[in-house]
Amino acid sequence: MTIKEAQETVDKWITTTGVRYFNELTNTAILMEEVGEVARIMARKYGEQSFKESDKDVDLADEMADVLWILLCLANQTGVDLTTALEKNIDKKTKRDSERHRNNEKLK
């Protein structure tokens, strides 16, 4: 699935199954909540925290998909074409950082 197809799929789901989009502020708050859930798993799986009994069945991929879902919703609501945005962002980073990271002693 392309990013464009993902945006279209989410929009179709929202307008048929989900009734309507939550407003942009609500979806921003939901995005922060979902990012927090990913952070929680990362802290426990790769960091020093241990899993709680209630966290045993967490699914990192599913939580990342929740983040992507809400981001796609926000892009649709605000008229952002994420394919174009990502392409521009990659170009910006390439121009800005092409030598910076190669010359970073911390990365060697």
| 3-class DSSP assignment, residue 1 | coil
Which ranges of the chain would DSSP assign to H, the alpha helix? 3-16, 24-45, 60-78, 82-97
Helix axes 3-16, 60-78, angle to 10 degrees: 80
Nearest 5°: the CA angle 15, 17, 20 is 40
Q: What is the pLDDT of residue 18?
A: 94
pLDDT digits (tens, 9 = 90+) for 41-88: 999 999 999 998 888 789 999 999 999 999 999 999 999 999 999 999
What's the fold here for domain 3-81?
Answer: Helix Hairpins (1.10.287)
| 99 pLDDT higher than 90 | no
CA nearest to 44, candidates 29, 30, 59: 59
Mean confidence (pLDDT) of the chain: 94
